[in-house]
């Protein structure tokens, strides 16, 4: 799943906030509580906040309106690279993080 990381104050929910639900996940690689927000109608994951870094959130990139210049959204960092499937090549030109060091 491709995600984008932002400061919490950069997120703006345009519509549908009343149908958001949150799942508190403590069974994950970080050991922190992840608040996973999702659509209660279709169960699509939308964004995640982390109990350790309350100022940051991770947004599922497929949910964002990228606007006319999609080339501005090129990846800069790859995380959880140690779990990459052997048939998926590294993303050229990105910084690689094997585990969750970006979120600690």
Residue 69: its pLDDT value, please?
Answer: 66
> pTM of the entire structure?
0.74
Residue 83 near residue 29, CB atoms below 8 Å: no
CA distance 94 to 104: 19
Are β-strands 3-7 and 56-60 bridged in parallel, bridged antiparallel, or unpaired?
Answer: antiparallel
Q: What is the full per-residue pLDDT of the chain (104 aa) written as tens digits?
A: 578 888 899 888 888 999 999 999 999 877 889 999 999 999 999 999 988 888 888 888 878 776 666 666 777 888 778 888 999 898 888 888 776 655 55
Residue 87: its pLDDT value, please?
Answer: 94
Question: Which DSSP state fits 68?
Answer: S
Residue 103: its pLDDT value, please?
Answer: 52
Residue 36: its pLDDT value, please?
Answer: 94
Question: Which DSSP state fits 90?
Answer: P
Residue 54: its pLDDT value, please?
Answer: 86
CATH topology of domain 3-10+18-103: 2.170.150
* Angle, CA 53 vertex, CA 22 and CA 3 arms, to 5°: 65
Closest CA to 94 of 4, 12, 10, 25: 4
Per the listing, tokens 């030109």 go with: 93
Tokens (6 digits) for 98:
């094997």
């Amino acid at each position: 799943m491709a995600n984008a990381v932002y400061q919490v104050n950069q997120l703006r929910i345009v519509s549908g906030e009343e149908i958001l639900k949150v799942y508190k996940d403590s069974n994950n690689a970080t050991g922190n509580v992840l608040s996973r927000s999702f659509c209660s109608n279709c169960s699509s994951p939308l964004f995640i906040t982390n109990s350790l870094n309350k100022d940051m959130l991770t947004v599922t990139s497929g949910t964002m309106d990228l606007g006319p210049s999609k080339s501005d959204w090129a990846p800069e960092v790859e995380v959880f690279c140690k779990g990459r499937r052997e048939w998926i090549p590294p993303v050229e030109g990105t910084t690689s993080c094997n585990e969750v060091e970006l979120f600690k």
